[in-house]
Amino acid sequence: SDLQKQEERGELLQPLIFIFLVLCSVLLYFKVSLMDPGFVKSEEEAGESEEQSMVIPQVPSNIKMRRCGYCMVKQPMRAKHCQLCQHCVRRYDHHCPWIENCVGEKNHPLFIVYLSVQLVVLLWGGCVAWSGLYFEQSWDWLQHNILLLVSFLLIVIFTVVVLLLLISHLYLISCNTTTWEFMSHHRISYLRHSELENPFDQGVILNLWRFFC
């Protein structure tokens, strides 16, 4: 049959891989959305020694942990209270409206993996949509291809957004800083009073190693 011939020629492998990547993208989305991003637990659940282990030697010693004015827990360094999640989040990066969850210490690496898989899916889908387009200057052609054309344009827009987001996150990770720290450097006490512009930076290779490994 035609299906067996396609299988023999290896033509079924690409669609299967594409479907697999789409499924991985959906599963990663739900995983990142539903998992704990690194909520700061109460003092009874998380000891003060664990809090102090987050402190980096380059940060001035006079910067002490402060108590959150909203949830009343002691904030470890680099944590921030999220008004939408109603929790303090360790190594807070940002609250992502796409996933309706914070991106923090626990789910940030998986968020990068999700963006990477999503980018591959979008690029692949864009190539498939482009291959199906043949341009003619006629109203009849537009009527038959309008959905494919709109789909291609939407894929291009989402691809650009995801690509820029992924590049910006990889840059910040390579510097060992977060989106919140990058945008609010002048308002954060442990950065404002530090002699170094970024006291957490330990070199690109070590920064990437500590983040992903």
Cα distances from 6 to residues 1, 14, 20, 95, in angstroms, run 9, 11, 19, 46
How far is Cα 130 from Cα 151, in angstroms, rounded to an integer?
Answer: 10
Residue 186 is classified by DSSP as G
pLDDT in tens, 72-98: 888 888 999 999 999 999 999 999 998
Residues pairing with 82 in the sheet: 87
Which residue's structure tokens are 């006291």? 199
pLDDT at 17 over 80: yes
Looking at 24, 68, 85, 96, which residue is catalytic?
96
In sequence order, which ranges of the chain are alpha helices (DSSP H)? Answer: 2-8, 13-34, 48-52, 108-131, 139-174, 179-183, 189-192, 204-212
Confidence band, pLDDT 50/70/90 cuts, at residue 62: low
- What pLDDT is attached to residue 170? 96
Whole-angstrom distance, CA of residue 92 vs CA of residue 78: 7
Query: What proportion of the chain, given as a percentage, has pLDDT over 90?
Result: 52
Say if CB 89 and CB 39 are below 8 A apart: yes
Looking at the chain, how many residues does it have?
213
What CA–CA distance (Å, rounded) separates 48 from 54? 10
Task: Give the whole-angstrom CA distance, residue 156 versus residue 127.
Answer: 10
Which of the four pLDDT bands, split at 50, 70 and 90, describes residue 12? confident
96 catalytic per annotation:
yes
Residues 207, 174 contacting (CB under 8 angstroms): yes
0.85 surpassed by pTM:
no
Least confident of 11-15, 148-152, 160-164, 207-211: 11-15
What are the boundaries of each domain within the chain?
A: 2-36+100-212
